[in-house]
């Protein structure tokens, strides 16, 4: 029996102990969006710090400054936990990122169990944070515990960055990382477990995320709201202009009508093209889970590429128009339409902004409306894509093969996890997203869970990954 088999055996034997540790962390209501729970967030960071300290990890808490609430009130941000385990210059150094805060949850929202009391039903561990992201953080701690008990030396140095504001835009984290840039400059690889499998049965490794560009189209027709009785037929209406402008952005089947966007998109490589067919993804299951009436494509490959590697344009809403139930005969004076593009390599927010603005200007010129028109861009985010053939992904893939007996799928996601790019840029190390939970874990929703099997096998994958990465 080699070392790793001993580790797997010990994880199997001690799984209830680690589930109890997860239970302890879930009980701390670290809801970062709720100012009243800020004390719990601080307590959660300290709890994680103590867990690492007990294992002999050198720990520190990074104070991240103050948060300004919408009321203007100032509230201290919860500290991030920084940990250093091993300083052997002959070994590689892995940065592990995780977050300790959770989305809000109330039993009344439709939970079948108390969200802050981890409850096992049919092999599923229900509780807020069970999969997002306390489960993966506890899995790492459990792996260190097992190695220590078995007297196995870490094959690699580890640096932990655990924050407690991820669900609130990671406020303060960039500053924390920048202030401590010298402490993470020796990182060789980074690993983030904060997303999910594509489906319920097959593990995956995630190598890409889309970025985002958000736009506000403001059209104004009058000084104040008008009345359709008095003014209907006399004034060109802002909302009519806006509906028209927004109807010219994307076709019913998702083709973006903004000239130049398609030309920015990185061409499909042979390597990438080959992986789609092999991916375990069922179009019908996806359709049923979203409850959608139709899909842009019924072809698995096309649908995945639409979600991952091509830009998409979505309309979100209108501010300033009548939005309540019932009937109102207002002619809104000023309306703001909102839409966004999910962007992919080689698109940048700058290049996208330029094309979007120029297209919107040309639409407006064509409209010949006397109204005022203004476009503003929200904060843009770059897409991220890694080389899924690199040493990090190879190590992750071999670890998964060892635990699951199958090669993982290489996936992307359509959304963004901004910390991925932050960590890649600041550490200048290759980042891998290694999800542990399944697609039906309901992160952010009612009845969030992690399967006991995913949790246990996840610990094994993380342990194996450490050894594979060291050997790479």
Residues annotated catalytic, as ranges: 101, 166
The residue count for binding Zn ion (CB under 5 A) is 3
Which residue from 150, 222, 221 is spatially nearest to 367, judged by alpha carbons?
A: 221
- Here's the x/- map for a copy of itself, 285-314, by CB under 8 A: it reads as -x---xxxxxxxx-----x--xx--xxxxx
Query: Is position 379 annotated in a ligand binding site?
Result: no
- Distance, in Å, from the CA atom of 267 to the CA atom of 130, rounded to the nearest integer, reads 38
Question: Angle between the 238-247 and 349-367 helix axes, to the nearest 10 degrees?
Answer: 130
| Beta carbon of residue 170, minimum distance to a copy of itself (angstroms, whole number) | 16
Asked if 71 interacts with a copy of itself (CB under 8 A), we say: no
Task: Answer yes or no: are the C-beta atoms of 79 and 108 closer than 8 Å.
Answer: no
With CB under 8 A as the contact rule, the residue among 65, 76, 254, 260 that binds a copy of itself is 254
Site for Zn ion in 368-427 (CB under 5 A): none
Q: Which of 217, 262, 210 minimizes the C-alpha distance to 357?
A: 217
279 binds a copy of itself (CB under 8 A): no
Stretch that binds a copy of itself, among 113-121, 319-327, 419-427, 462-470 (CB under 8 A): 319-327
339 preceded by cis ω (within 30°)? no
Return the closest-CA partner of residue 195 out of 386, 459, 414.
414
Cross-strand bridge partners of residue 339: 215, 315
Q: Please identify, using beta-carbon distances, which residue of 116 and 359 lies nearer to a copy of itself.
A: 359
Binding to Zn ion by CB under 5 A, coded x per residue (else -) over 173-212, reads ---------------------x------------------
169 interacts with a copy of itself by CB under 8 A: no
Q: Considering CB distances under 5 to 8 angstroms, the limit depending on partner class, which of a copy of itself, Zn ion, none binds residue 133?
A: Zn ion
Separation CA 438–CA 446 (nearest Å):
15
Closest CB to a copy of itself among residues 21, 250:
250
Residue closer to a copy of itself by CB (options 13, 253) is: 253
Other CB atoms within 10 Å distance of the CB of residue 346: 13
* Nearest CB to a copy of itself, comparing residues 40 and 171: 171
Task: Indicate whether 132 belongs to the interface with Zn ion (CB under 5 A).
Answer: yes
**Nearest CB to Zn ion, comparing residues 353 and 440:** 440
Residue 32 φ/ψ, nearest 5 degrees? -70, -25
Specify the stretch interacting with a copy of itself by CB under 8 A; choose among 134-142, 197-205, 368-376, 430-438.
368-376
Task: Give me the sign of the Cα torsion angle 230, 367, 351, 250.
Answer: positive
- Complete DSSP assignment for 359-416: HHHHHHHHHT-SSEEEEEE---B--EE--TTSHHHHHHHHHHHHHHSSPPEEEEESS-
Of 71, 110, 324, 405, the residue at the interface with a copy of itself (CB under 8 A) is: 324
Residue among 90 and 290 whose Cβ is closer to a copy of itself: 290
In the list 7, 97, 125, 133, the residue contacting Zn ion (rule: CB under 5 A) is 133
Interface mask toward a copy of itself for 401-440; x: CB under 8 A = ------------xxxx------------------------
Asked if 396 and 472 count as a contact pair (C-beta separation under 8 A), the reply is no
Of 116-124, 200-208, 214-222, 258-266: span binding a copy of itself (CB under 8 A): 214-222
Residue 56 interacts with which of a copy of itself, Zn ion, none, CB < 5 to 8 Å by class: none
- DSSP H or E run through 339: strand 334-343
Between CA 434 and CA 154 the distance in angstroms is: 20
Tell me the closest approach of the beta carbon of residue 133 to Zn ion, in angstroms. Answer: 4
* Whole-number Cα distances in Å, 322 to 39, 250, 452: 40, 24, 47
Is residue 222 within the footprint of a copy of itself (CB under 8 A)? yes
Contact (CB, 8 A) for 345 and 247: no
Contact present, 443 and 127 (Cβ < 8 Å): no
89 binds a copy of itself (CB under 8 A): no
Please tell me the total number of residues recorded for the chain in this structure. 472
Annotated binding site for substrate: 194, 227, 329, 342, 416, 444
Residue ranges that bind Zn ion, judged by CB under 5 A: 132-133, 194
């Amino acid at each position: 029996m080699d070392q790793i088999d001993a580790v797997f055996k010990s994880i199997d034997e001690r799984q209830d102990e680690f589930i109890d540790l997860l239970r302890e962390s879930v009980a701390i209501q670290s809801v970062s969006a709720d100012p009243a729970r800020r004390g719990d967030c601080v307590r959660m960071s300290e709890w994680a710090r103590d867990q690492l300290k007990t294992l002999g990890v050198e720990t520190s808490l990074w104070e991240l400054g103050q948060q300004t609430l919408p009321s203007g009130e100032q509230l201290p941000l919860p500290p991030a936990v920084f940990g250093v385990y091993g300083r052997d210059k002959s070994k590689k150094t892995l940065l592990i990122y995780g977050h300790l805060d959770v989305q809000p949850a109330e039993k009344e929202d439709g939970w079948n169990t108390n969200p802050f009391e981890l409850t096992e039903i049919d092999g599923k561990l229900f509780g807020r944070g069970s999969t997002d992201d306390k489960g993966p953080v506890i899995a790492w701690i459990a792996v260190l515990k097992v190695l220590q008990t078995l007297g196995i030396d870490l094959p690699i140095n580890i640096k932990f960055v655990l924050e407690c504001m991820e669900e609130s835009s990671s406020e303060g984290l960039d500053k924390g990382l920048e202030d401590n840039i010298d402490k993470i400059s020796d990182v060789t690889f980074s690993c983030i477990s904060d997303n999910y499998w594509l489906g319920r049965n097959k593990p995956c490794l995630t190598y890409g995320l889309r970025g985002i560009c958000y736009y506000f189209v403001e059209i104004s027709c009058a000084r104040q709201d008008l009345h359709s009785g008095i003014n209907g037929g006399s004034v060109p209406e802002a909302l009519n202009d806006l509906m028209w402008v927004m109807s010219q952005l994307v076709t019913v089947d998702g083709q973006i009508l903004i000239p130049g966007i398609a030309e920015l998109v990185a061409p499909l490589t042979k390597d990438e093209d080959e992986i789609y067919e092999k991916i375990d993804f069922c179009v019908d299951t996806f359709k049923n889970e979203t409850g959608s009436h139709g899909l842009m494509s019924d072809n698995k490959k096309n649908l995945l590429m639409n979600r991952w590697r091509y830009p998409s344009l979505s309309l979100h809403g209108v501010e300033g128009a009548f939005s309540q139930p019932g009937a109102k005969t207002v002619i809104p004076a000023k309306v703001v339409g909102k839409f966004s593009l999910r962007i992919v390599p080689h698109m940048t927010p700058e290049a996208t902004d330029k094309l979007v603005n120029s297209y919107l200007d040309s639409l407006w010129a064509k409209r010949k409306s006397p109204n005022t028109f203004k476009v503003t861009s929200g904060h843009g985010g770059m897409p991220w894509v890694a080389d899924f053939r690199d040493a990090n992904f190879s190590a992750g893939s071999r670890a998964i093969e060892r635990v699951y007996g199958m090669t993982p799928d290489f996936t992307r996601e359509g959304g963004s996890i901004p910390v991925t790019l932050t960590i890649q840029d600041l550490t200048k190390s290759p980042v891998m997203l290694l999800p542990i939970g399944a697609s039906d874990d309901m992160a952010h929703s009612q009845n969030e869970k992690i399967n006991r099997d995913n949790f246990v096998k996840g610990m094994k994958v993380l342990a194996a990954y450490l050894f594979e990465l060291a050997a790479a």
